[in-house]
Every structure is written in C-alpha cells, then in structure tokens.
Structure 1
Amino acid sequence: MIRTIRFLHPVTRTPHLGWLRGDEVVSLTSAVPEWTDPLAPWRALRALGIAAEAGLAKVAERALRVRWQDLVDGRLLLPPVAAEEVWAAGVTYERSRVARNAETKLQESVYDRVYEAERPELFFKATGRRVVPPLAPLGLRQDSRWMVPEPELAVAITASGEIVGWTLGNDLSSRDIEGENPLYLPQAKVFARSCSYGPALLWNTGAQDPRSWQMEMVIWRQGQAVYRGAVPIRQMRRSAEELIAYLLRDNPILDGTVLFTGTGIVPPDDFTLQPGDVVDITVDEIGTLRNPIVAGGVKNCSLHDGQ
C-alpha cells in the first residue's frame, strides 16, 4: 500500500511530496526535486515498468525523513494532489436520494429521476486555489441556515481519465439553498472554504478494491460526538469509472483533476453545523480527513496559495 501526501517543508516552506510510512514521512522531493506532485512518479514508474513500491523504496534510500506528527502539529499539510479543478457527483447512494427529496419536500423529484437515470449528476465544485488543506477550517455560508458536511470517496485522475489514486473529500453543502430550488445548486455547493480533500492519496496499483472499504464520519462539538455515521462503499450505485467516463464527455480536464463520487452519509434533517464543530472523515485504507468549521464570509477567507 502506497500513501503519499503533500506538505510544506518546515524550513523552506516549499511544497514537498512525501511517502507516508507509519509515523514517518519520506520526502521524495528531497531525492527527486521534480517530484512535488504524485502524478510525476506514478507516471514515471509505470513507464519504466517498475513496481511502484520497489521504485519508491529505491528513491527513499537517499531521501530526507520528517515526522508525520510534526507536519500535523505545524499545520503543514497540503491537498495530496495539486488539482486545478475539483468536480463532484451527486445522488450516487440511496441515502443521498432520500435526503435530497426531504430537502425539496417532493416524493417524486428530480433526484429520484437522476438516481435511476443512465446519466449521472455531475457538477463543478472548486478551483484549486479555493480548496482548503487538511486540518484547515471550512467556512459556513452566511446566507444559509442548514449546512452539512458531505463525506465522499474521491479519485485523482489523469487527463485521459486513468485513476491515479483515491483520497477523501468533504463537500460542504447548504441543504436549505439547494432545497429551495435545484437550480440553486451552484450556490449551495460553491463558496469560500467549501471544499477539502486528503490527507493522503492511496495509489492505484491495481491491487485495491474500494468496494470493500467503509467510510465513517464523526462530527465533534465541544469535545463530544454529536453525529456518527458510516456507509460501505459498495452501496455506491455508480462506479468511479462510470462517473469519470461521463465527466470526460466533451469536457477536457487537466492531469490531477479530483472527482468526488457522492455521499452515502447524511446527518438528520434537524442537524446543522455550527462554528467550532470539527468534522472527521475516515477510510482506514486512506486515513482521516479532519477540518474544523468556522463562520463564513469572504473577509474570513483568503485563497489558498500553498499548492
């Protein structure tokens, strides 16, 4: 299993690509300066016909090491892929369909139809400079009264649609704005501090079976868990490959694009996030994506420039 992260070097504050091995992070960038993003080594090792773990182990022999906890304590983590665009899919789980119907108060709604339809729901979520790193705060919309995190399995893909690896996404969403009218979806989804993914990228080596994984989410408030939920990834109605195929239809994308694949965990209808909450999203094979929640507004947000 290969998990890579991106982080700011504690001294130079330059982006580094690291191989996460237990409590230690091997800085691959210190050995190969051109490797600041996982796509470069992933593609290079494949082209050379070298097994990924064996190839990285050879590079690691001359690489610097840092402690994972030091990066966490220093808030030095970056999104694990320097994606210029983040896209998302919706209504890919039964629970999501039910929740969207509850928002609109319709039993036979557009969400029922898209859940059963051949064509999936796809939408633009964020530009790279608007992505919040792991451990950084997500921001609540000022004009929303009902906001929830949407924990999702995400894929990093090449321009041709190959899956480089998997990570975890938090698609912060306004349920009341989207529920008022489905045409308000962009406003419910795209705003300052509305998106995070990480902490690591689990490389696609052909040996993984995401459908065997389970996703969990815990929302903490003043140190107490106010919501817990879990879903097996096998409950996804559509495969990542199907979603990618539709994303690429007449829509050129860049290497390293990240696609969120939808959520199957939705807090109850009487729940809304509050400033000070902390959201943990976990898949054991990938790790835990943690983000605190703050009040939104442009004055409380600067575009992330650490990529």
Structure 2
Amino acid sequence: MRSLSMPDRGVFVGRVWLPDAQGPAIVTLRDGKLFDITSKDVATMRDLLERDDAVAHVHATAGQSIGALEEIAARSFHAGADAVHLLAPCDLQAVKACGVTFASSMIERVIEERAAGDPTKADAIRRRCMEIIGDSLKNLEAGSERAREVKKALIDEGVWSQYLEVGIGPDAEVFTKCQPMASVGWGAAVGLHPVSAWNNPEPEIVLAVDSKGAVKGATLGNDVNLRDVEGRSALLLGKAKDNNASSAIGPFIRLFDETYDMDDVRNAELDLMVEGDDGFVLKGSSSMKEISRDPLDLVGQACGAHHQYPDGFMLFLGTLFAPTQDRDIEGEGFTHKLGDIVDISASGLGSLTNIVKLSTECPPWTFGARALMQNLARRNLL
C-alpha cells in the first residue's frame, strides 16, 4: 500500500471523485483531512483559480469533511467510479508543457534524434556528443549572447539540432500535453502507447496559471515520454506525448501565499524513484536551479497578446532528468516495464505516485468537459 505525505504548512487544493454524486468535488487539505469546498461560486478548479482572493476564499469556506487523506489515498490505487479517490487537481484548464528547458539535459533529445529512436545506438552517440560539447552547456541561459556563441560553435562542429535550437535559442518549446480533463491524478495508472519500447517518466513542476497569465500555484507532474517515437521524428511529438493517461498531475495545487511562492519553485529539488516488479530501482533528481529559462518567461511564451486561455492553463516546466542507467542490456539505458511504480516528490509539494500500464489498458477517458457541466447542473452547482 502506498502512502501520501504532505507538508504541514501551506494551502493545498485539489479534486476528488465522489461516488454518490458521480462527479468531482473541489477539496482542500486541513490537518490531514480533505474538506469539500465546492459551491456555485467555486464549482470547478478553474473557478477557484480565477478568483483574486483564492487563498482567502479557501480559508473562509468551512466545507464538509469527506475523510482522512491517508484513507482516501489508499483507496485511490486502482480506484473506480464506485470509490472516493483523488483526481488530477485541474479541470477546465488547458494542459501545456515546455520541452528542453534544461540545457544540461537536452543532449538526450539530440541523442534520441540522432539514434532515430533506436536505444542500441544511444550510448555511442552520447559519448561522441559529450566529446564535442563538454561542459559548454553548463549554467547556460537560453537566448543569451553566450548561448548564441555556443550555437555557432555547435553548428561549426556539425552537431546542431532542432532540440538545441529550442534549448538555448530565444524561443521555448511549448506544446499541448493533453486535452482539459484528460490528466490523471495520484494513484492512477499512467499509460504507455503499445508501440513504444524506449520510454521514461519526466518529473516536473507544473504551474497553475489563470486566464490573465498570473501564476496561482504549483504542483507536480509526470510528462510521460516515448523516446523512441519522438526520436524517429519530432513531428511525432503528439504521438509521443499525448495518449490515454500519459499526463499525471498532483496530488494537490499548492496556492501561492506567504509560505510558498515562485522563488520556492525556482529553488525546488525534485526526486524520482521507479520501482519495478523485477526488483529494478531507478533513482534520479531534477533541480529547478538549473533551468535555462525562468518559469515566468515560460509562462509569458505560452500566453499573452499572442495566445489567450480563458479557462487558464497548467504548464509543465520541463525536467533535468534523463535516465541513462542500464536496466536490461548494457548500453541501452532505461525503459519502463509494465507494473513500474513511479514516485515523484518535492519537499514543498508532497509526492505524486502512479503505476505504469499500457495506454490501451488504462481506464478509458470518458468524463470530459460536457460530462462535467452536465454533472454540475444536476447537482445545482451551475
């Protein structure tokens, strides 16, 4: 049984499935218990995050206790619609993601591209690239004069790549990770497309942004990645990134207040552990201190006069983590096996735990925006 521990301080909000209502509730965490704070004013997480007084509203709303977090988390593994369980904390928001935001790890994207998705070629390409690049990418600020100099040097060496362009160039990679309502939460299965044989988790911080572009809080995410699919062609990014249950977010959004803000995000340290049924254990980390673009710059590249999100959006910030530890065959690095347990944690945000399955074997995604609106209408919440 997996446990879920959360920080003692902070304002945490999320979503829980209520079997009796056959729909979701907006909840907050208080002293180890979850309280339903859903109302006509705040029927969705989108509604709460659009409020200028979101933190004050949570504090002022008594809500109704629906149980201890520990008990609800225990029921969230393999839970169906007949059990109270945790959901992804977002609902109507778009789910966007930034790629190649850590210059020191983007070499793995170059390797994927040059290996054309073949993991047997990765190790040799990695050694050759590091001979050429060395530590030139360390502490490199994307779009800076030094980045332009490194870009020219790499072109001269014949190793320029589209991944290096978005990694150290002026424009960030921002793509759609999945549709609103499609992300899964703590304890749910995350899905791998059956065609993939080389894949990995991506532990990331996810920002909760309102329609005005203001960051209202942060949570954790797993941007499940199919290295072989994207490696074959960057034009297969949608197939590599957006599949059933390929986006995990949670367990809760920590609203920004006097105890946690953007500077805490900038200094966050993420830990990853993958435990397989075969006894394999992979441990890794991702330090937000090494990101090549400031999180607010990424928010600005995602939204503004050029692009609006009337329901707000969730933004994956990218990861430093790129697994190279061999699992089965020397030189082929890491790939998932079905049944892997993935745990992503950060001291200020708790932990996000999921089990790996094929996307075709994860519960089908059927509860979308229309289903949510119909459910809220039946409950007189609209």
Q: TM-score, normalised by structure 1?
A: 0.88
Q: How does 1:45-56 map to 2 (within 5 A)?
A: 46=53, 52=55, 55-56=57-58
Identify if the C-alpha distance between structure 1 residues 63 and 132 changes in structure 2 by more than 3 Å, giving closer, same or farther.
closer
Instruction: Letter of the 2:310 partner, please give it.
Output: L
Shift of 1:262: 0.7
In 1, distance between residues paired with 2:48 and 2:175?
A: 29
Q: What's the counterpart of residue 67 of structure 1?
A: 68
Task: State the percentage of identical aligned residues.
Answer: 26
Decide which moves more: 234-243 or 126-135. Answer: 126-135
Q: Is the 8 A contact 1:171 1:196 kept in 2?
A: yes
Identify if the C-alpha distance between structure 1 residues 126 and 43 changes in structure 2 by more than 3 Å, giving closer, same or farther.
closer
Q: What's the counterpart of residue 267 of structure 1?
A: 323
Instruction: Letter of the 2:283 partner, please give it.
Output: R
Instruction: Letter of the 1:66 partner, please give it.
Output: G
Instruction: Letter of the 2:173 partner, please give it.
Output: E
Q: What's the counterpart of residue 174 of structure 2?
A: 122
Q: What's the counterpart of residue 25 of structure 1?
A: 34
Q: What's the counterpart of residue 218 of structure 1?
A: 273
Equivalent position SS for 1:215: strand
In 2, distance between residues paired with 1:66 and 1:170?
A: 26
Q: What's the counterpart of residue 147 of structure 1?
A: 199
Decide which moves more: 186-195 or 5-14. Answer: 5-14
Q: How does 1:179-198 map to 2 (within 5 A)?
A: 179-198=231-250
Identify if the C-alpha distance between structure 1 residues 289 and 300 changes in structure 2 by more than 3 Å, giving closer, same or farther.
closer
Identify if the C-alpha distance between structure 1 residues 94 and 212 changes in structure 2 by more than 3 Å, giving closer, same or farther.
same
Shift of 1:134: 2.1
In 2, distance between residues paired with 1:191 and 1:13?
A: 24
Shift of 1:272: 0.4
Shift of 1:174: 0.8
In 2, distance between residues paired with 1:26 and 1:223?
A: 39
In 2, distance between residues paired with 1:201 and 1:143?
A: 33
Shift of 1:222: 2.3
In 2, distance between residues paired with 1:34 and 1:66?
A: 23
Identify if the C-alpha distance between structure 1 residues 300 and 135 changes in structure 2 by more than 3 Å, giving closer, same or farther.
closer
Q: How does 1:8-19 map to 2 (within 5 A)?
A: 8-9=17-18, 11-19=20-28
Equivalent position SS for 1:167: strand
Cα offsets for 1:23-43 (capped at 9, x unmatched): 2112222xx454233443454
Q: Is the 8 A contact 1:81 1:256 kept in 2?
A: no
Identify if the C-alpha distance between structure 1 residues 205 and 144 changes in structure 2 by more than 3 Å, giving closer, same or farther.
same
Instruction: Letter of the 1:248 partner, please give it.
Output: C
Q: What's the counterpart of residue 14 of structure 2?
A: 5
Equivalent position SS for 2:107: helix
Q: What's the counterpart of residue 288 of structure 1?
A: 351
RMSD: 2.3
In 2, distance between residues paired with 1:252 and 1:277?
A: 37
Equivalent position SS for 1:242: helix
Cα offsets for 1:187-243 (capped at 9, x unmatched): 211222211111100102265221222111110112846211112211111122111
Unpaired segments ≥5 residues, structure 1? none
In 2, distance between residues paired with 1:131 and 1:52?
A: 24
